[in-house]
Amino acid sequence: MELMKKNIHTERIKSKALLQVPLETDINVSDAKPDVAKVIYDCGKIKVDEIKTGMNKIWVKGRLCYQFLYQTESEDRALAGMEGDIPFMEEIYLDKLEGQDRVICKTSLDDMRVHIINSRKLSIQAVISLEPRVEESIAEELCVELDNSGGADLEKLEYRKKSLDFLETIVKKRDLLRIHEETRLPAGMPDIGAALWKNIQISSISFRPMDEKLGITGEISLFIVYREDASGRINWYETMIPFNGSVECQNSREGMIVDVTYETGHEEITVREDSDGEFRLIGIEMTIELEIKLYERESTSIVADVYGVSCEVQAGIDSKQFRSLCTELNTEEKLTRSIKIEDADPKILQVCHSDARVKLEETAFREGMLRLAGEIELQVLYASNESGAGLYPVRSIVPFEIAKELPGVDERQIDQYSLSVQIPQQTVSIKDSSQLEWRGTMSIELRLYSANSEDILTDLSITPLDAEVLEKLPGFAIYYVKPGDSLWQIGKKYYVSVGRIKEMNNLTEDEIKAGDKLLIVK
């Protein structure tokens, strides 16, 4: 008797950790830069350069890249910019980690503040989070049928099958998408003399499985503050740049479940001359580091258990875990916030730019609900016709609490989740000269995975039935069904097939209930 087996591929989390790291450094203003009077805008991005693995620990090497725009101490309150990075190297304990394991490290900037020590020295304080994890690929063999060429042994056996639903991993790979885009200043805007602030961010991105490749589309938000070439006045330009591309994915096809996490790698913004020799072209180069997983829902009928009717059977049963997709959630929430500037601040003439950063403080799955709580940190730049022609900041916090129903989800079964919370759309309108209104759309994408344990038949051996066992069995018996009993359990106990019990008791279904009387004939 041989077991006919089918190979499947799945995965599970082998190890994971979370480490919050405080970073602090003082920076000196270079001799080529003017004195600092006030920091009006800042941003930070985490770049992981290298991950080294050892036994039960990793070393994460990276940088916090910072950038800020400030007002100078000159009479006209001109603007200037600075940028740099803070390196870090952290050792993180990861249980069960082995040297050959591949580690994925998710990062987030929890907080960053820039303080002025004096006009030539500043202090940067930040808190970053590092979330490394190791996902283990598993190849399993499932018994889908019993193979018996002669056919005689199958008559001595009673076996049952069950349906197994799971996610099979079709594609698991790391790849890189390179983006090369170019945009031109609109007609009527002055040429760029010197760029004071250059920043790009992925505003939105989506992934679509296609035949043998993964399609990628999205938009990049570009914001640049510059000094005009002719007049030397401050100006700015903001635009959205669409992009698309693809990466090769062997065995990929439409309809698969796609789960991709990404981090931005190299970023470069250059100002170039056009064909007329004017600095009006802005070139963008960016790399997006992708962790790609494509799944396919599978449903397979497997042999669940075997017992002998006229023979002894030793069935090897092993409990295995199989990942399945509990639920997917794609939803949007509308948020608004009124922002009032201080009385001493210059009055609002025009909104230049806004930036919203989501800080999640709680993610909970309870009682069939998803609960998200946190805040959105807003930075808005505006222009005023007072105190010269500079730009001025206003900051605000938008707290949020969101609850969404997740029908049928049991938090005890959740093995892993993939959550993306972004602000793909936002607008800032002027209510009056001292008040703004921010409107944003929060996009929430969630995938919940469960790990279900199933008993799997791994091997089978058949021996002749012991004569003493056969003699001890009653010729016939009346069996009173107890709570939790099944025809399978009763047949296994008395070495009688389920079909035989149903035939003797005129049953057409497998369902029985406590208190039923069954005739068992040897």
Structure tokens at 516: 């039923």
The answer on pLDDT for 378 being more than 90 is: yes
Structure tokens at 125: 């304080």
Give the percent of the chain with pLDDT over 90.
59
Q: What is the domain-level CATH number for residue 510?
A: 3.10.350.10
In Å, how far are 220, 425, 519 from 332, measured between CA atoms? 20, 11, 61
pLDDT per residue as tens digits for the range 90-145? 999 999 888 788 899 999 999 999 999 999 999 999 999 999 999 888 888 898 88
Q: What is the pLDDT of residue 443?
A: 93
Domain boundary among 309, 336, 365: 309
502, pLDDT greater than 80: yes
Residues 123 and 172 in one domain: no
Indicate the SS3 state at residue 276: coil
Which H or E element spans position 467?
helix 467-472
Q: How far apart are CA 423 and CA 377, in angstroms?
A: 11
Does residue 439 sit in the same domain as residue 475?
Answer: no
pLDDT digits (tens, 9 = 90+) for 213-254: 999 999 999 999 999 988 888 899 999 999 999 999 999 999
Cβ distance 270 to 279 under 8 Å?
no
Query: In degrees, to the nearest 5, what angle opens at C-alpha 1 toward C-alphas 504 and 299?
Result: 75
* Angle in degrees, CA 220, 221, 222, rounded to 5: 115
Average of per-residue pLDDT across 412-421 = 84
Identify whether residues 186 and 159 lie together within a single domain. Answer: yes
State the pLDDT confidence band at 152, using cuts at 50, 70 and 90: low
Q: Are 154 and 298 part of one and the same domain? A: yes
Structure token digits, residue 314 = 């030793």
Of 465 and 505, the one with more pLDDT: 505
Sign of the CA dihedral running 402, 403, 405, 410: positive
pLDDT, tens digit (0-9, with 9 covering 90-100), for 295-339:
999 999 998 888 888 888 888 888 888 888 888 899 999 999 999
Domain for residue 1, yes or no? no
Q: Are 362 and 421 in the same domain?
A: yes
Domain range for 363: 322-463
Look at the chain and report how many structural domains it folds into.
4
pLDDT of residue 34: 92
- The pTM score is 0.84
Domain membership of residue 3 (yes or no) is: no
Domain boundary residue, one of 414, 436, 463: 463
* Beta strands in 148-278, from DSSP E residues, in sequence order: 157-184, 192-210, 213-228, 234-248, 257-273
The per-residue pLDDT for range 390-404, each reduced to its tens digit, is: 789 999 999 999 999
In a domain, 8, yes or no: no
- Judge if 159 and 295 occupy the same domain: yes
316 within domain boundaries: no
Q: Are residues 457 and 479 in the same domain?
A: no
Q: What pLDDT, on the 0 to 100 scale, is given for residue 426?
A: 93
Domain identity same for 213 and 301: yes
Confidence of residue 477 (pLDDT cuts 50, 70, 90): confident
Query: Is 5 among the domain residues?
Result: no
Question: What's the rounded Cα separation, in Å, for the pair 417 and 449?
Answer: 6
Question: Do residue 355 and residue 451 come from a single domain?
Answer: yes
Same domain flag for 190 and 115: no
Q: What is the pLDDT of residues 17-57, one digit of tens each?
A: 999 999 999 999 999 999 999 999 999 999 999 999 988 99
